[in-house]
């Protein structure tokens, strides 16, 4: 049985809005298809070994949490960049997208250096961007709507090497101006969408799992469809809450 090896970075510090639920979705969707999975929690002081994983996840946290992990994350940065270059799948949420970039200038004026797996930088704004959000995404030729909840003061700007995860249909997105949300580069996804994100976005979850399985097996993987009635209903409710037609 093929096992997908998942790294959960800083689960004790970066886990607001139920982001830990994203791990449950990934492991369950693997199990339902006959794959196994292992989840290794990596915290402050623990070593990150790229060869040990196929998927790396980092949830959201407040500025104080990001400051707590920033020095440790900087020490892990070379290994994390190596993992991204090797094709490991990444999903980094909210505070995660900020730390995946080159730098984050927080509200106090302190600069936190990111790991640089996404070509972007974030500067704290003066107004909080908050509320339901829906985006239209196109990744690896697949088009789908992604829904969630955003709550961030950071204004994120993409460089030329990253492309948006999606175009904003409702909400704010990366900043107050661009009308795009998230970032994709190699097999790395960064996004501000909480909620948690994956329970109501099965297409995005399966895209990430396809990348992780491709890394594990060195083969192109096609996942069988699941009975996603509950997930689709949750997705449709979120679309309606955002004021969009289904």
Which residues belong to the active site? 94, 194
Sign of CA dihedral 79, 156, 93, 87: negative
Closest CA to 112 of 57, 164, 72: 72
CA distance 173 to 118: 16
For residue 77, is the peptide bond before it cis, meaning its omega torsion is within 30 degrees of 0?
A: no
> Any alpha helices (H) in the chain, and if so which ranges?
21-31, 63-85, 95-100, 202-217, 229-241
Contact 123, 154 (CB under 8 A): yes
In Å, how far are 32, 132, 220, 229, 236 from 146, measured between CA atoms? 22, 11, 24, 16, 10
Both structure tokens of 231: 């997930």
**HSE-up (13 A, CA, CB side) for residue 27:** 15
Give Cβ neighbours of residue 43 (< 8 Å, ≥ 6 apart).
10, 11, 12, 13
């Amino acid at each position: 049985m093929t096992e997908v090896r998942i790294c959960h970075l800083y689960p004790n510090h970066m886990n607001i809005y139920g982001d830990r639920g994203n791990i449950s979705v990934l492991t369950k969707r693997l199990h339902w298809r006959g794959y196994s999975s292992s989840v290794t929690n990596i915290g402050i002081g623990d070593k990150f070994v790229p060869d040990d994983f196929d998927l790396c996840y980092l949830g959201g946290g407040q500025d104080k949490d990001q400051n707590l992990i920033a020095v440790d994350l900087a020490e892990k940065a070379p290994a994390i960049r190596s993992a991204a270059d090797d094709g490991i799948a990444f999903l980094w949420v909210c505070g995660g997208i900020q730390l995946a970039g080159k730098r984050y200038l927080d509200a106090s004026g302190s600069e936190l250096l990111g790991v640089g797996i996404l070509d972007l930088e974030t500067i704290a704004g003066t107004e909080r961007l908050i509320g339901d959000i829906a985006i239209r995404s196109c990744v690896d030729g697949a088009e789908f709507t992604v829904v969630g909840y955003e709550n961030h003061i950071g204004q994120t700007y993409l460089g030329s090497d990253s492309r948006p995860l999606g175009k904003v249909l409702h909400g704010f997105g990366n900043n107050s101006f661009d009308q795009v949300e998230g970032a994709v580069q190699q097999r790395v996804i960064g996004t501000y969408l909480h909620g948690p994100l994956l329970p109501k976005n099965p297409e995005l979850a399966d895209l990430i799992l396809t990348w992780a399985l491709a890394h594990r097996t060195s083969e192109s993987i096609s996942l069988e469809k699941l009975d996603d009635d509950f997930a689709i209903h949750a997705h449709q409710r979120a679309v309606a809450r955002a004021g969009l037609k289904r």
